[in-house]
Chains A and B, each alone.
Chain A
């Protein structure tokens, strides 16, 4: 059974990249819906494995189209039975899709990752000293002290992360359109998505290099440009 794999939405009912290949080497084509179109290719199965190769291919199709069009990326593995069902799904979302396309035209996303922010979190000396003293305490007291210590470390870590975020934002925000930051406490990793105008890419990259130079103790990585995954606001009708 042939299905349609859908990569994204473009701001035109057609595009001229007839040579663009999608999954399994199938031609990528437009499924027009009003004044925009879904970007799709035939898929001879109902599922797709998220291998690095297939996810990169998804991104490659979007990246190619982004050179000429505003593009909204769809989540990987969006598969529909046929064009009719796809249009039925897009129709009630059309106004919201058009709004996002206008807002994101000419903009791309960068990913930022700060991975060693826990270096200043833990006070090992304090922990060892407290640990030795705790041996003589009753079990209940030891439990509560350990719990309090974990809470203190987490709070200190979050405070440190906020400070790091503020410092990095001072470098990056002036050359970006928008940013979303998040802290993964378990892995002590700060991540951010930056929305950047295409004409500001060089300035943004320079700002990242500058930020790294100003904060050599931090392990800051930056990858992109990606399709603006983190900045789409449109939701499916049942989620409204």
Chain B
């Protein structure tokens, strides 16, 4: 069960995006572009488009998904 303390509506998904899109083990150091519809370009290990920008874009596009996740994760 996930713990959420003092979070706003989208804090959990923002925290997860910060991690899943920017951190974790990277198998290829160069040109990992497997994300459909998002201009994520890696040069070496540096992400040029931050997950925060990605999250903001996603919030507008996938508002219904966020609402669904809020129910699932509650």
Contact = CB atoms under 8 A, between A and B. Distances in A.
Interface of A: 6, 8-9, 45-53, 55-56, 58-59, 72-80, 86, 89-90, 93, 97, 100, 109-111, 113, 191, 193, 201, 205, 208-209, 212, 219-227, 229-230, 232, 234-239
Contact of A73 (B20, B28, B38, B73): B20
Interface residues of B, number: 44
Nearest to B27: A89
B59 to A, nearest CB: 9
A contact patch SS? mixed
Given A52-B62, A52-B69, A221-B5, A111 B25 contact: no
Contacts of A77: 21, 32, 34-35
A223 B34 CA distance: 27
A80 B25 CA distance: 14
Contacts of B16: 55-56, 59, 223, 226
Nearest to B61: A51
Contacts of B68: 53
Contact of B24 (A51, A221, A232): A232
A109 B69 CA distance: 20
B25 A8 contact: yes
B50 to A, nearest CB: 10
A79 B26 CA distance: 11
Contacts of A73: 19-20, 23-25
Contacts of B27: 6, 74, 78, 80, 86, 89-90, 93, 236
Given A47-B35, A222-B4, A229 B13 contact: no
Contact of B32 (A8, A75, A226): A75
Given A49-B36, A51-B62, A223 B11 contact: yes
12 contacts: A50-B58, A51-B58, A52-B13, A52-B62, A56-B13, A73-B19, A111-B19, A191-B18, A201-B3, A227-B19, A236-B27, A238-B30
